[in-house]
Amino acid sequence: MRHFIVGAGLLALALVVTFGAASVLQGMAEGKKTITAEPFVIDKIRPAATVTRGPRDQPTGRNVILATSRRSDD
C-alpha cells in the first residue's frame, strides 16, 4: 500500500513540475513580443492578363474511355 501512495505522490509532483515549467516558459514567451505577428505580406499569384491560352488537349467528356478491371475469358 505504501508503494501506491509513494507512486501517486511522485506522479503528482511530476505533473506539478511539468505544468509549472510550461506555464513559466509560456509566460516568458508571451512577455517578449518585440516583433509583429507577421512581418511579411503574402501576395496571391495570378496569371498575367496578357497571356493567351491555346485550346485544351484533354477530352471534353464525350469521348472518355474509362479503364476498368476486366478478366479476359481465355
Counting residues of the chain whose pLDDT is more than 70, the rounded percentage is 50
* Alpha-carbon distances of 70 from 27, 63, 67, 73, rounded to whole Å: 64, 20, 9, 9
The pTM score is: 0.42
Q: Is residue 7 in a domain?
A: yes
Q: Is residue 53 in a domain?
A: no
Domain that holds residue 12: 1-46
CA-to-CA distance for 43 and 46, rounded, in angstroms?
Answer: 9
Q: Is residue 56 in a domain?
A: no
Number of folded domains that form the chain: 1
pLDDT in tens, 16-45: 999 999 999 998 888 777 666 666 777 777
Q: Is residue 32 in a domain?
A: yes
Q: Is residue 10 in a domain?
A: yes
Q: Is residue 8 in a domain?
A: yes
Per-residue model confidence (pLDDT) at position 10 = 97
Average pLDDT, the chain: 77
Q: Is residue 58 in a domain?
A: no
